[in-house]
A and B are shown apart, each in its own frame.
Chain A
Amino acid sequence: MSSETGKILTTDGIPLEVSLKKAERKNKIKAFLLVAPLLLFLLITYIFPIGDMLMRSVDDKMVTEMLPKTFKSMEKWDGNEMPPEEVFEAFYLDFQKLVEEKRDGKLSTQLNYTKNGFKSILKKLRRKAKNFEEGNYKDQIMAVHKRWADVEYWRAIKRRAPAFTSAKYLKGMDMYKNEEGEIVSVEEDRRIHRVLWLRTLEIAFFVTLLCFLMAYPIAHLLATLPMKYSNLLMICVLLPFWTSLLVRTASWMILLQQQGVVNDFFVMIGLVADDNRPEMMYNKTGTYVAMTQILLPFMVLPLYSVMKTISPSLMRAGKSLGGTPFVTFWKVYFPLTIPGIGAGCLLVFILAIGYYITPALVGGASGTLISNQIAFHMKSTLDWSFASAMGLMLLAGVLAIYWVYNKLVGIDNIKLG
């Protein structure tokens, strides 16, 4: 191409290529400026706070800041034998400062997390330290209690030196770092968190399965019925969808209680004896039943929107080619609905895995999920860093599923109502 024809000029004498690029850049900036307010708002109020959760979950500066001199002097100590005099002196000075500021209680709680037995020896040290003479702190401290002469306890202090810790995450999986720094599991009867994770996965999985089994036939019916009937039946799906979650949970509490409607009905048809009414609430059964009903619309809607696009002539063609209704369904119809199944199942699974309100109300002790544990630590034990760690572990799982969902269906294809 020659240079004269290659460079088409606009009326201002600027090459068209340059002018076009400029216009495109302007459009890009314009589009971005429209999104910017919301993006900025979410970044500040939502995305960064999630980052803050990450910081809290690994933060362990508390002890690091309480014993600055001790950790500095411990840098040279290899941890094999008893620490040298300077470590003892630094520890004595740090500890005296904490006692003055009345923060020694916090230190003893923190150190007791690392190794049991610190609480009593720190208390004893506080009492005796008032009468300490200057110099030779090593012997004076070791004389307070025999555990102060045990190198294990000094190693335990040294383990708290780093400002960051993975301890909360390990605790979330019922593991901890032992004295040798190896990661080990807690005793079998104390593995409460693993039980919860497994139960959360189990309930989410079975709720998804139940929803799928129930939603498929009715979505099919809604998609194949004539419009005037299907619109009417659609209300049965949409009314629960729009109704308050708490209202629906309340109705299940009324239905499932021991003197409730379902039990009354069972007694009436003679399924159970009046004095032997089964407990259907405050256990797993309650969680399963209520969660399945509450999440069912989220499965029906994506299935319906996919089934609606399948032409009925495909089934007719299959039948005219000699397929029995079941074969035609299995070979023609079912494969076409797989995108809807994927969307519905992942949506329900993601929602179920993070469910909180319904399990807390109808689940009792055996039907609660990991979300309930997070809320418990946020509101009752106030161990916010542990709640953050558990939350982020759950979030990592959800994001992994979300990523799969995005690959399979695309997030732009989410349909509402």
Chain B
Amino acid sequence: MALPKYTEPHYRIWHYVYIFICTCVFFFLIAPLFVIFPLSFNAEEFLSFSEGMKNLDPDAFSLRWYKDMIYGTKNPWGLAAKNSFIIAIFATLGSVLLGTVAALGLSSRHMPYKGLIMATLISPMIVPLIISGVAIFFFMAKAGLAATHTGIVLAHIILGTPFVVITVTATLSGFDHSVTRAASSLGSDPVNTFMKITLPLILPGVISGGLFAFVTSFDEVVVVLFLAGLENTTIPIQMWTGLREQLSPTILAVATCLIILSTLILVTAELLRRRSERLRGINR
């Protein structure tokens, strides 16, 4: 953003002020995440930088908390991680299945009451989580599914589908329906057409919706707090308990792992988005 030579001085000053403000905001956004990295390698039990760390003394750093995270006897992180992944994977599969099929129906121009149905389908995203939590808890308690994996998976399907519906509907909005008609005119049955023609074209949207659903489930704590028993503990529940009771550096080791995971998901999502835009012929 180079300024032209003829810029007047006060606009020049304003421009630098503007760049400075932007830098501050970017710093505010991203810096808190980077505090966690060095502190998770702290050799001591404090959550602030020790003198040794400030002087970059190698003895002040250790992998102690990572070892504690993996081998610690009292730590339920292993069980929590296992539960989190199982629940998130099943919730993602369910959300993607239900959400994609619904999005196919919603983007048909024959769909009756489109606005009302769309509003209903994405309502779990708009309704505050605490209210969703209460409502879903009442249902699961009645259905006898409280404190079961099934109950939590179903709850996360509810919360995850809106993301799939939105991303797949968006992908389908640029979809050329003449290709499916061409397939049917060549004698393909609807299921075959969907598997061979439609699905490969909308796949980036489906996967990025799935990523949203996965992250929603993997990160969800409010509803799980109502539903989970001791057996169903998840990573977010453990973090919540840890942050409430005592902030131990082990949590920071877990948090570092989660940041790495979210970076991977971010990169995947971005690559998919670009691929999807290329496929749909949107050039910017």
Interface, chain A (partner B; CB < 8 A): 24, 27-28, 30-39, 41-50, 52-53, 56, 214-215, 217-218, 221, 224-225, 233, 235-240, 242-255, 257, 259-261, 264, 293, 296-297, 308, 325, 350, 353-357, 360-361, 371, 374-375, 378-379, 384, 387-388, 391-392, 394-395, 398, 402, 406, 411-412, 414, 416-417
Nearest opposing residue in chain A for B137, CB measure: A378
A395 & B255 in contact (Cβ 8 Å cutoff): no
Give which listed residue, B35, B48, B258, B284, contacts A244 with CB less than 8 A.
B258
Q: Is the interface of A mostly helix, strand, loop or mixed?
A: helix
- Contact status A255-B243, CB under 8 Å: no
- Structural contact, B108 and A30, CB atoms closer than 8 A: yes
Interface residues on B, range: 35 or more
With A37-B102, A412-B118 known as contacts, the answer to whether A254 contacts B47 (CB < 8 A) is: yes
A53 proximity list for chain B (CB < 8 A): 131, 134-135, 138
Nearest opposing residue in chain B for A33, CB measure: B105
Contact between A261 and B243 (Cβ–Cβ < 8 Å)? no
Residue of A nearest to B26 (CB): A236
Q: Is B91 an interface residue (CB 8 A)?
A: no
Please name all residues of chain A whose beta carbon is closer than 8 Å to the beta carbon of B132 when the two chains form the complex. Answer: 46
**Which one of B112, B128, B255 contacts A32 once the chains associate, using CB atoms below 8 Å?**
B112
Q: Beyond the given A31-B108, A37-B101, could you list 12 further A-B residue pairs with CB under 8 A, ordered by the A residue number? A: A27-B110, A31-B111, A37-B98, A38-B98, A47-B123, A214-B25, A236-B30, A325-B11, A371-B130, A391-B131, A411-B118, A414-B122
**Is B203 at the interface (CB under 8 A from chain A)?**
no
Given contacts A31-B111, A34-B102, A42-B120, A354 and B130 within 8 Å (CB-CB): yes
- B247 at interface (Cβ–Cβ under 8 A)? yes
- The distance in angstroms between the C-alpha atoms of A36 and B123, with both chains bound, is 16
* 25 contacts across the A-B interface (CB closer than 8 A): A30-B110, A32-B112, A42-B158, A45-B136, A49-B136, A50-B127, A221-B18, A221-B19, A221-B22, A233-B26, A237-B29, A242-B262, A242-B266, A243-B33, A244-B218, A246-B243, A247-B255, A247-B259, A250-B243, A251-B33, A259-B47, A354-B131, A361-B243, A391-B135, A402-B126
Which residue among A45, A217, A350, A392 has the maximum number of chain B CB atoms within 10 Å of its CB? A45
CB neighbours of A246 from chain B (8 A)? 219, 221, 236, 239-240, 243, 255
Which residue of B32, B99, B138 is within 8 Å of A248 (Cβ)? B32
Distance A394 CA – B135 CA, assembled complex (angstroms): 13
In whole angstroms, what is the CA distance A217 to B29 when docked? 13
Q: Of all chain B residues, which has the CB nearest A231? A: B270
Task: State A191–B59 Cα separation when bound (angstroms).
Answer: 55
Indicate if the CB atoms of B135 and A353 lie closer than 8 Å: no
Annotate B114-127 by CB proximity to A: 1 below 8 A, 0 otherwise: 00011111111011
A32 CA to B215 CA in the complex, in Å? Answer: 29
Q: Which of B81-108 contact A (CB under 8 A)?
A: 98-99, 101-102, 104-106, 108
In the complex, which of the residues B99, B108, B126, B130 contacts A391, with contact meaning CB atoms closer than 8 Å?
B130
CB proximity of A39 to chain B, nearest CB, Å: 6
Tell whether A35 pairs with B117 under 8 Å between CB atoms, given A259-B48, A398-B126.
Answer: yes
> How far apart are the CA atoms of A339 and B1 in the complex, in Å?
26
Query: Looking at the complex, which one of A354, A357, A388 makes contact with B221 (CB distance below 8 Å)?
Result: A357
**What's the Cα separation between A20 and B269 when bound, in Å?**
43
Assembled-state Cα–Cα distance A388/B138 (Å): 10
Known: A32-B111, A251-B36. A242 touches B243 (CB 8 A): no
Interface SS majority for chain B: helix
| Contact A24 to B128, CB < 8 A, known contacts A45-B154, A217-B22 | no
Return the 7 tightest CB-CB contacts between A and B, nearest first: A354-B128, A34-B105, A31-B108, A35-B105, A49-B135, A27-B110, A38-B102
Q: Across the interface, do B166 and A414 meet the contact criterion of CB distance under 8 Å?
A: yes
- Output the least CB separation between A394 and chain B (Å): 6
CA distance A240 to B244 in the complex (A): 22
Residues from chain A with a CB closer than 8 A to the CB of B111 are: 28, 31-32, 35
The residue in chain B whose Cβ has the minimal distance to the Cβ of A417 is: B269
Query: How far apart sit A239 and B262, CA to CA, in the bound complex (Å)?
Result: 7
Determine if A255 and B105 form an interchain contact, defined as CB atoms under 8 angstroms apart: no
Give the nearest-CB partner of B215 in chain A: A242
CB distance from A98 to the nearest CB of B (A): 27
* A296 proximity list for chain B (CB < 8 A): 25, 28-29
The CA of A152 and the CA of B86, in the complex, are separated in Å by: 59
Any A CB within 8 A of the CB of B233: no
Q: Is there an interface contact between A254 and B212, defined as CB atoms closer than 8 Å?
A: no
- Check A412/B169 contact, CB under 8 A, given A35-B117, A391-B130: yes
The residue that B139 contacts in the complex, of A49, A214, A293, A398, with Cβ under 8 A, is A49
Q: Are B138 and A49 in contact (CB under 8 A)?
A: yes
- From B32, B131, B239, B284, give the contact of A50 (CB < 8 A): B131
A residues near B26, Cβ cutoff 8 Å: 218, 233, 236
Contact of B236 with A250 in the complex, beta carbons under 8 Å: no
Bound form: Cα–Cα A306–B43 in Å: 47
Most buried by A among B36, B110, B154, B269: B110
Q: In whole angstroms, how far apart are the Cα atoms of A177 and B112 in the complex?
A: 46
Instruction: Give the residues in chain A near B165, CB-CB below 8 Å.
Output: 38
B62 lies within 8 A of chain A by Cβ: no
Q: Are A245 and B128 in contact (CB under 8 A)?
A: no
- Does B265 contact A253, Cβ atoms closer than 8 Å? no
**A225 & B270 in contact (Cβ 8 Å cutoff):** no
Let me know if B221 and A28 touch, CB within 8 A: no
